[in-house]
């Protein structure tokens, strides 16, 4: 598949979500990704469901497009030899085993890089490779809680909630792909590969953003406060006559326009700091005005006034939205057993000169060992 990483070979020893999401990102960019799976069962996510469609897990389908699959038993000498021959040719190897597992298999980092000094190794763990809790098993929701994200999510301080997608896993995969591409760029300069490490803990802390500095600099501990921004007002979900809309009044200029459009008095609420301090009053004022409008009428008025706004869409509405399709966020592939499938697509687009060069040809997530015979023949 053409793309910025065309010619790069990725050997994917990972399973579940963080590692597979990372390698899928590399595959989306044109790398050849060979997914190594356990014989018989394959990746853990092949069994995660329902929903299943004709025996295929939709969870697995979400994280494994643009890959080939080969089944190898890493405790079998012949299969280990196949893996090592893949390592000899690889540019990147990705793994998310618990710390020490690869060493016990005789496939530790030093052994791999001794065979292939140019190899970039991406290693993802739950809480880090070292430190007092290094090697601790990591699952997404546990990491969301341990890394503070759940304390910031929910209707209030006593209502911690997980994010609706496995965001710790996904972020670790994104950071991992970012690190692997950086290591490949460094290898172009040095000729030598390197080891990239990240974790679910690191990935979530990495996106604390203003909530992090709110504590490290100002000494304030952020807490969940529902659908309203802790540092900007009005910014969040507001009720109207037949539902709710979201608005983002992120500057004083927008606030002035907003007040003019809806006849709101600004006395005592001139600055963002004043509005944040009186968030309850601001919400009451805004919702009292919005109560006279339906959501569609309100969104039209907000658009006319130049106020950033939107509605809360269900997933079916997102995937049926023409804007989603226009951004290449839906792709059509041919699956080996399911036939024609429509999948969520890659989130990046590329342009050179006046034309778009985004890869448009994609392959479906593989069935277990679908490409095993072809890969073995290639290696031979």
- Of 166, 164, 90, 169, nearest to 125 by C-alpha is 169
Three-class DSSP labels, the chain = CCCCCCCCEEEECCCCCHHHHHHHHHHHCCCEEEEEECCCCCCHHHHCCCCEECCEEHHHHCCCCCCEEEECCCCCHHHHHHHHHHHHHCCEEEECCCCCHHHHCCCCHHHHHHHCCCCEEEEEECCCCCCCCCCCCCCHHHHHHHCCCHHHCCCCCCCCCCCCCCHHHHHHHHHHHHHHHHHHHHHHHHCCCCEEEEEHHHHHHCCCCHHHHHHHCCCCCCCCCCCECCCCCCEEEEEECCEEEEEECCCHHHHHHHHHHHCCCCCCCCCHHHHHHCHHHHHHHHHHHHCCCCHHHHHHHHHHHCCCEECCCCHHHHHCCHHHHHCCCEEEEEECCCEEEEEECCCCCCEECCEECCCCCCCCCCCCCCCHHHHHHHHC
Look up 44 and say whether it is catalytic. no
Query: Which among 12, 140, 169, 369 is annotated as catalytic?
Result: 169
User: CA dihedral defined by 46, 50, 55, 59, rounded to 10 degrees?
Assistant: -40
The catalytic residues are 169
């Amino acid at each position: 598949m053409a793309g910025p990483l065309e010619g790069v070979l990725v050997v994917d020893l990972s399973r579940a979500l963080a590692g597979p999401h990372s390698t899928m990102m590399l595959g989306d960019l044109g790398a050849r990704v060979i997914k190594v799976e356990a014989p018989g069962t394959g990746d853990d996510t092949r069994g995660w469901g329902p929903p299943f469609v004709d025996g295929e897990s939709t969870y697995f389908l979400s994280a494994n497009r643009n890959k080939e699959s080969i089944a190898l038993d890493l405790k079998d000498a012949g299969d280990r030899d196949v893996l090592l021959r893949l390592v000899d040719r690889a540019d990147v190897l990705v793994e998310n085993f618990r710390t020490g597992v690869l060493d016990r298999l005789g496939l530790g980092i030093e052994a791999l890089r001794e065979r292939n000094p140019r190899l970039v190794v991406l290693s993802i763990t739950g809480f880090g490779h070292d430190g007092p809790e290094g090697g601790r098993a990591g699952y997404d929701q546990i990491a969301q809680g341990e890394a503070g994200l759940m304390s910031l999510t929910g209707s209030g301080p006593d209502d911690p909630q997980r994010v609706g997608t496995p965001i710790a896993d996904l972020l670790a995969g994104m950071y991992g792909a970012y690190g692997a591409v950086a290591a490949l760029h460094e290898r172009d300069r040095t000729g030598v590969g390197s080891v990239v490490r990240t974790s679910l803990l690191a990935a979530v802390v990495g996106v604390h953003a203003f909530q992090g500095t709110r504590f490290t600099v100002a000494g304030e501990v952020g807490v969940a406060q529902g659908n309203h921004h802790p540092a900007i007002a009005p910014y969040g979900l507001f009720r109207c006559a037949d539902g709710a809309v979201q608005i983002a009044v992120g500057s004083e200029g927008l606030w002035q326009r907003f007040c003019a459009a809806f006849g709101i008095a600004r006395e005592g609420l001139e600055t963002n700091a004043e509005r944040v301090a009186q968030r309850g009053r601001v919400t009451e004022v805004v919702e009292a005005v919005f109560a006279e409008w339906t959501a569609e009428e309100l969104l039209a008025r907000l658009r006319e006034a130049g106020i950033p706004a939107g509605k809360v869409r269900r997933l079916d509405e997102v995937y049926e939205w023409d804007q989603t399709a226009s951004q290449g966020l839906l792709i059509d592939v041919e699956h080996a057993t399911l036939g024609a499938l429509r999948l969520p697509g890659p989130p990046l687009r590329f342009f050179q000169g006046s034309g778009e060069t985004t890869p448009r040809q994609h392959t479906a997530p593989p069935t277990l060992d679908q490409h095993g015979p072809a890969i073995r023949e290639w290696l031979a």
